[in-house]
Structure formats: C-alpha cells, structure tokens
Amino acid sequence: MKIQRASFIGVSGLPDLTLDLTDSRTGSPHSLVVIAGGSGSGKTRMIEALIAAKEGIRAYGQMTTGAAWIRSGNAAKIRVTFHLDDDEREFANAASKTLEAEVIFKPERIDAESDDGLRAVLGRYSHNVAHGKVDYFPSERRIPTFPPFPGLNSGEQRVGRLGKDQRKYGFVLPFLRSLDNEPARRERFATTLAALSPTCRYVPDTSGDAIPRCFSSRGGDPVHVGQISHGESDAVIFAATAATICLDHSLVFVDRPDLHVEELDPFIDALAALGIDNQLFLTGGSRLAAAARGAHIVSLKTS
C-alpha cells in the first residue's frame, strides 16, 4: 500500500495543506518521500499525523482520543487517498486502485469515513511476506538489554509497531537468538545489515548466551549489541525489523534516519531496499534531502 494524497485541515502543529505524492511519469505514488525542514517545522508531526489517520481508520493498537490533533475549535480533519496493489485491491474487494478515507479528530474520539475494504486492508497485520503493513521508526531508537522482551509473533508485534515506546525494540535480542535455527531469516538480516552499515557485520554465535556476541565492528572480535555504536545499533534495528515482520509492500515511516550516519547516500539506498515495493517516508534537513536521489521532497517552513 502507498499514500497517494493527503490533506490536513485544522491539525495542531501543521498548516492546512495538501500533499500530492503522485509521480507524474507513472500516475502512481512516489516510493521515496522526504519531509524536509528546520527544527520545529512539523516534520515529525506530519508523519505522526498520517499514522494517526491510519489508526483512526483501523488500529493496530489501542484507540486514542483526537484532542491532541486539534489546532483550535472542536475538530481537525485528515483526508487520505491510499493506492492499493493488486493483492490489496482483491482483499478489499475494490474496483479501483485508489480508496479515500476521511478521518475526523474530535476531543473525545476519532471518527473515520472509509470503505470497509480499506478498513480491512489497513487492519490486516501478519508476518506474511505478501501482506503489506504500516511501520514507524521514531527518532529515539535503542535496543533494550534487560527484560521484559516482547515475542516475535505477529500478535505481540502488532500492538507496538506504530508507537514510540523504546521497549518496542526489545524483540531484537530474542530475534538474534532465533537466527540459530532460521537460515533464511539469518541471511536476510545479515545482507540487510551489511547494506545499512559500512562497519558492522553479523557473525553467528554458538555460545548459547542470552545476549549473543554476534557482531563484528570494523573487523574486530565479536561483541554483543550493547557494545556497538549508535549508528550500528540503528542499522541492527532496521535490519532486524525488516527480517522479523517481513517489511514488504508496506508504508514505512522513519523519523530522523540521519542522526548517526556519515555517508547518507548508500544508507538511504539501503533503507529503500528494506523490502519489496515499500513506500518510505523520511524526515530530516537539507542534508538528507540532498542525499535522497529521486525522492519527492516536501519542504516545510518553521512557523
């Protein structure tokens, strides 16, 4: 699934505006979108508003009220046009590739006017490689090394996918241990990690320890995840997520992917290759916008 168009009306932290993400060459949405601007321009707010609209139509986690999204008065509104692939259109029993929804944020609740088929698509969450999903990487990303650790199954992963609780990446340690018996998943993880990080490589660990020493940084001896750099840890989070939930045909939001990265060009290419047929939304400043070759750039100004 992809977002083709979105209109924001009365949304707190954002001006009223419409995003048209249609690629004029193909008529389909751009696969790479960069929300660029200075501090306080609303970059994070915009992607989190799109996520809130998705959750208002059909939620992965618990529903919330709309009060935080209302700029003034009694309501705010987001209209979103989604572009479905053939599998999603069949699942939605839709004649058109595009379906529009209107989400109204009210102080005590969130209402949505939407086709039932679109609700079904946006509410479907499984780790089937053919099923698209929505995922959010917030700017504060870290790998917890103390329990509790969430499981790897879709039921446990679904609830936290669109939140910002740092414990959401507690699944990484169980994931690393699971690679002992999952050769296909191990290969996807190792390949993706190598593309994301020029310095960090996965090396199989046979010790059986709860925290495996399965990373080589800059060609050094194997270390555990708590001993690698922030940039390398970010790469592990991205690669582990893609391998765990099968991040294909999906909407992927990444807030500030450039925080710990020196060479942005290959890193952005690797993020775009996290899965097949994804639409990737990135937030950042002018440096990120310049490095994102072929991206559709949305420029926001600090109010």
Say what the pLDDT of residue 262 is. 87
**Nearest by Cα to 229 from 187, 258, 200:** 200
Say whether both 234 and 267 belong to one domain.
Answer: no
Say whether both 269 and 222 belong to one domain.
Answer: no
Say whether both 174 and 240 belong to one domain.
Answer: yes
* Amino acid, res. 6: A
Report whether pLDDT(259) > 90. no
**Neighbour count for residue 26 (Cβ, 10 Å):** 9
CA distance 279 to 276: 9
Report whether pLDDT(210) > 90. no
Say whether both 10 and 154 belong to one domain.
Answer: no
Q: What is the pLDDT of residues 151-172, one digit of tens each?
A: 999 999 999 999 999 899 999 9
Q: How confident is the model at residue 266 (pLDDT cuts 50, 70, 90)?
A: very high
Say whether both 118 and 15 belong to one domain.
Answer: yes
Task: Express as a percent the part of the chain with pLDDT over 70.
Answer: 100
**Nearest by Cα to 173 from 244, 91, 75:** 244
Report whether pLDDT(302) > 90. no
Over residues 30-45, the mean pLDDT reads: 96
Within a domain: 217: yes
Number of folded domains that form the chain: 2
Residue where a domain terminates, one of 227, 246, 265:
246
b vs e for 268-281, b when ≥16 Cβ sit within 10 Å of the residue's Cβ?
Answer: bebbbebbeebbbb
Report whether pLDDT(208) > 80. no
Q: How confident is the model at residue 230 (pLDDT cuts 50, 70, 90)?
A: very high
Q: How confident is the model at residue 203 (pLDDT cuts 50, 70, 90)?
A: very high
Within a domain: 190: yes
Say whether both 258 and 229 belong to one domain.
Answer: no
Say what the pLDDT of residue 54 is. 98
Say what the pLDDT of residue 289 is. 94
Say whether both 272 and 123 belong to one domain.
Answer: yes
Say whether both 129 and 149 belong to one domain.
Answer: no
Say what the pLDDT of residue 77 is. 98
Report whether pLDDT(278) > 90. yes
The domain of 215 spans 144-246
CA distance 296 to 30: 7
Say whether both 79 and 210 belong to one domain.
Answer: no
Residue where a domain terminates, one of 246, 262, 290:
246
Say what the pLDDT of residue 63 is. 82
The enclosing domain of 32 has a CATH number of 3.40.50.300
Say what the pLDDT of residue 206 is. 79
CA distance 199 to 196: 9
CB 109 within 8 A of CB 65: yes
What mean pLDDT value characterizes the chain?
95
